């Protein structure tokens, strides 16, 4: 699963996985930060309407709460669909990203096309692995989102987002890349 066709002779899967939906919701779609913003806005609205006679303050607050919960629910749903429809694969020759909620896109990133990789871990134990492409090849940011490095709009970089065990996956990727590029590995040494 997750590959456009059967692997060629001599290529094997080293790791396959998907992002965590909860981590995507928190770190990519910023649901926690938006929930805090909506809570603050509800508090301000409640203080503003506190002097209204009778129950006139209740109905506007209820409408605002409903709109906030709907927005947060939609963002959480998009995060869930993005995680459910994503599969990352690392083989001994390439990184394959099957991404897309409506239209599925499969990106094959051979190790010879990778310039570097970096790992970012979050407090919840998940993390991202960002891959920089070598040469002039580029992938459009809109094609990658939300599987792109944040704020790298001019030079989009594919990213394996919100992996449950990112440091271990990074080690798998590093080991495979070093094995596939022995000449470069000997020049640069261990990363």
Q: How confident is the model at residue 186 (pLDDT cuts 50, 70, 90)?
A: very low
How far is C-alpha 133 from the chain's CA centre? 17
Q: What is the pLDDT of residues 122-166, one digit of tens each?
A: 999 999 999 999 888 788 888 899 999 988 888 899 999 999 999
Q: How confident is the model at residue 191 (pLDDT cuts 50, 70, 90)?
A: very low
Q: What is the pLDDT of residues 13-66, one digit of tens each?
A: 999 999 999 999 999 999 999 999 999 999 999 888 887 776 677 888 999 999
Is pLDDT above 60 for 189?
no
Name the burial class of residue 141, with classes exposed (0-12), middle (13-18) and buried (19+) by CB atoms within 10 angstroms of its CB. middle
Q: What is the pLDDT of residues 78-97, one digit of tens each?
A: 999 999 999 999 999 999 99
What predicted TM-score, i.e. pTM, was given to this entire model?
0.87
Beta-carbon contacts of residue 156 (< 8 Å; ≥ 6 apart): 138, 139, 140, 141, 144, 148, 149
Range 65-85 average pLDDT: 97
- The reported pLDDT for the residue numbered 54 is 67
């Amino acid at each position: 699963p997750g590959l456009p066709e059967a692997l060629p002779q001599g290529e094997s899967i080293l790791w396959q996985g998907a992002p965590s939906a909860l981590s995507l919701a928190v770190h990519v779609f910023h649901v926690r930060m938006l929930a805090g913003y909506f809570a603050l806005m509800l508090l301000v609205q409640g203080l503003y309407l506190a002097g209204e006679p009778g129950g006139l303050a209740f109905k506007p607050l209820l409408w605002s709460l409903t709109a906030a919960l709907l927005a947060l629910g939609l963002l959480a749903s998009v995060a869930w669909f993005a995680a459910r429809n994503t599969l990352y694969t690392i083989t001994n020759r390439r990184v394959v990203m099957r991404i897309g909620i409506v239209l599925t896109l499969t990106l094959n990133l051979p190790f010879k096309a990778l310039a570097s990789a970096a790992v970012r871990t979050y407090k919840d134990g998940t993390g991202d692995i960002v891959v920089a492409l070598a040469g002039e090849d580029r992938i459009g940011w809109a094609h990658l989102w939300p599987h792109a490095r944040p704020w790298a709009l001019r030079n989009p970089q594919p990213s394996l987002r919100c992996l449950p065990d990112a440091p271990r996956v990074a080690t798998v990727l590093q080991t495979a890349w070093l094995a596939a590029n022995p000449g470069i590995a000997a020049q640069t040494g261990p990363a």
